[in-house]
């Protein structure tokens, strides 16, 4: 409650909010930042609320750079949306500046705050309870990609260095195996071998970007269902939110990661591996939605690598779980012993299943280009 006091006494006065403060409450289901809704009463207009967020500076150590990314990307989106006659306050995030004209307010205890216009009559769904939500999520991320296709991605800050650099991730993995800090390497030889056998895959996208064979693009890097606001009346994905991890990268990172967790038939830490597979119908639902929006802005090489990207991102994720398991579970929070090994194994099962279904995935992609 101390935070709510601080919001009331200090933070709300720092931003260009319209009206008189009524109250603030914790809002939404985010896990990274602290998110609040703040409510204001106005003389002649209806009351209004805003989103207020304390940026998690333990994860994002350069909040200023992060905000520059968000401002750059949302300004670009706003221009495009207005050109197309859209409602920019609904279809992209709109930052509320501070009274001093900044994007961040540093509070008296060193916390960093930002505010957004509140997108009303829309919901962040936590799970795909209807398949249409998955297709609509794909369309929204595809649309985001299309509108940003001409954005100079190399001007973005890399807010988390080497986020999807699979070559570096392999190096960290091999280091963890060699150091064997938790004394677990001997017990996971089969798993270690699985990733080492696929080391060449780890270099494909990184090398292609370096050689200019794949374009550097604005990537979202957290393409979960609950990072899209969906219209309460139509279920359409209207706005991509949570832009903290926007960075220069490859469109393949976002597509592949969406398939990795969105098309899987089981939880990420499922212990019964017979339940774990990559559902081709879900793959098709996402691919259809994504390509209907982004298809025309992608290069032939990007399209060719879409099925591979699902495997690559799953490989990367599984290897990160195994790396953390070898290091003694210092990065991914665990709720039971060996959970990171269980997570690694589901990803391995998915990789194997994707290898088996690779041709089918190519056929599906070909249907929608």
Return the SS3 of 38.
strand
Token look-up 């500076």 returns 57
* Contacts with 227 (C-beta within 8 Å, 6 or more apart), sequence order: 124, 220, 240, 241, 242
Cα 203 from Cα 145, distance rounded (Å) = 23
Q: Is 71 a residue that touches Mg ion (CB under 5 A)?
A: no
Token look-up 């060996």 returns 338
Q: Which is nearer to ligand ATP, 174 or 235 (CB)?
A: 235
- In the bound complex, what is the minimum distance in angstroms from residue 333's beta carbon to ligand ATP? 13
The span of 40-48, 77-85, 152-160, 225-233 binding Mg ion (CB under 5 A) equals: 225-233
* Contact (Cβ atoms closer than 8 angstroms) between residue 235 and residue 136: yes
State the binding string over 31-60 for Mg ion (x if CB under 5 A, else -): -x----------------------------
Cα 75 from Cα 66, distance rounded (Å) = 14
Return the SS3 of 347.
helix
Q: Is 295 a residue that touches Mg ion (CB under 5 A)?
A: no
Q: Which is nearer to ligand ATP, 9 or 123 (CB)?
A: 123
Q: Which is nearer to ligand ATP, 238 or 312 (CB)?
A: 238
- In the bound complex, what is the minimum distance in angstroms from residue 43's beta carbon to ligand ATP? 24
- Residue 324 near which of Mg ion, ligand ATP, none (CB within 5-8 Å, type-dependent): none
Q: Which is nearer to ligand ATP, 230 or 344 (CB)?
A: 230
- In the bound complex, what is the minimum distance in angstroms from residue 11's beta carbon to ligand ATP? 16
One residue of 30, 86, 215, 295 binding Mg ion per CB under 5 A: 30
Residue 148, judged by CB atoms within 10 A of its CB (0-12, 13-18, 19+), counts as buried
CB atoms within 10 A of CB 246: 26
Q: Which residues ranging from 242 to 271 are in contact with Mg ion (CB under 5 A)? A: 242, 244
- Residue 31 near which of Mg ion, ligand ATP, none (CB within 5-8 Å, type-dependent): ligand ATP
Within 13 A of 338's CA, how many CA atoms are on the CB side?
8
Positions that interact with ligand ATP (CB under 6 A): 27-33, 35, 51, 93, 116, 118-119, 124, 222, 226-227, 241-242, 244
* Contact (Cβ atoms closer than 8 angstroms) between residue 201 and residue 311: yes
- In the bound complex, what is the minimum distance in angstroms from residue 114's beta carbon to ligand ATP? 10
- In the bound complex, what is the minimum distance in angstroms from residue 232's beta carbon to ligand ATP? 12
Cα 166 from Cα 205, distance rounded (Å) = 8
Q: Which is nearer to ligand ATP, 177 or 240 (CB)?
A: 240
- In the bound complex, what is the minimum distance in angstroms from residue 128's beta carbon to ligand ATP? 15
DSSP for 286-334 reads HHHHHHHHHGGGS-HHHHHTHHHHHHHHHHHHHHHHHHHHHHTS-SS--
- Residue 93 near which of ligand ATP, Mg ion, none (CB within 5-8 Å, type-dependent): ligand ATP
Q: Which is nearer to ligand ATP, 204 or 229 (CB)?
A: 229
Cα 298 from Cα 215, distance rounded (Å) = 9
Within 13 A of 298's CA, how many CA atoms are on the CB side?
24
- In the bound complex, what is the minimum distance in angstroms from residue 166's beta carbon to Mg ion? 22
- In the bound complex, what is the minimum distance in angstroms from residue 173's beta carbon to ligand ATP? 24
* Contacts with 63 (C-beta within 8 Å, 6 or more apart), sequence order: 55, 57, 104, 112
- In the bound complex, what is the minimum distance in angstroms from residue 231's beta carbon to ligand ATP? 12
Q: Which residue is nearest to ligand ATP (CB)?
A: 30
Q: Is 221 a residue that touches Mg ion (CB under 5 A)?
A: no
Closest listed residue to residue 22, CA positions, set 40, 2, 47, 3: 40
Q: Is 215 a residue that touches Mg ion (CB under 5 A)?
A: no
């Amino acid at each position: 409650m101390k935070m709510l006091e601080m919001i009331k006494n200090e933070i709300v006065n720092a931003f260009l909010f319209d009206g008189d403060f009524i109250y603030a409450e914790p809002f939404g289901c985010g896990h990274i930042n602290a998110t609040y809704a703040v409510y204001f009463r106005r003389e002649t207009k209806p009351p209004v609320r805003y989103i207020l967020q304390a940026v998690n500076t333990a994860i994002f150590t350069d909040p200023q750079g992060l905000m520059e990314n968000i401002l750059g990307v949302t300004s670009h989106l706003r221009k495009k949306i207005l050109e197309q006659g859209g409602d920019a306050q609904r279809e992209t995030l709109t930052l509320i500046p501070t009274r001093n004209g900044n994007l961040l307010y540093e509070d008296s205890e060193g916390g960093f705050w930002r505010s957004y216009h509140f997108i009303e009559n829309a919901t962040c769904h936590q799970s795909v309870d209807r398949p249409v939500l998955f297709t609509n999520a794909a369309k929204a991320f595809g649309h985001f990609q299309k509108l940003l296709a001409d954005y100079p991605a190399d001007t973005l800050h890399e807010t988390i260095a080497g986020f999807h650099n699979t070559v570096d991730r392999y190096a960290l993995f091999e280091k963890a195996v060699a150091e064997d800090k938790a004394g677990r390497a001997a017990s996971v030889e089969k798993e270690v071998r699985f990733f080492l056998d696929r080391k060449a895959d780890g270099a494909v996208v990184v090398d292609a970007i370096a050689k200019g064979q794949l374009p550097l693009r604005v990537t979202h890097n957290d393409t979960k269902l609950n990072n899209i606001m969906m219209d309460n009346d139509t279920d359409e994905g209207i706005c991509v939110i949570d832009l903290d991890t926007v960075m220069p990268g490859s469109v393949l990172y976002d597509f592949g990661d969406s398939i990795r967790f969105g098309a899987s038939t089981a939880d990420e830490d499922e212990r019964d591996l017979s339940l774990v597979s990559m559902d081709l119908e879900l793959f098709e639902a996402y691919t259809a939605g994504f390509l209907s929006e982004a298809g025309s802005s992608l290069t032939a090489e990007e399209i060719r690598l879409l099925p591979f990207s699902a495997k690559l991102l799953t490989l990367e994720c599984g290897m990160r779980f195994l790396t953390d398991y070898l290091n003694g579970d210092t990065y991914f929070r665990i709720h039971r012993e060996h959970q990171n090994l269980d997570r690694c194994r589901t990803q391995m099962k998915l990789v194997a299943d994707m290898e088996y279904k690779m041709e089918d995935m190519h056929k599906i992609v070909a249907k929608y280009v």
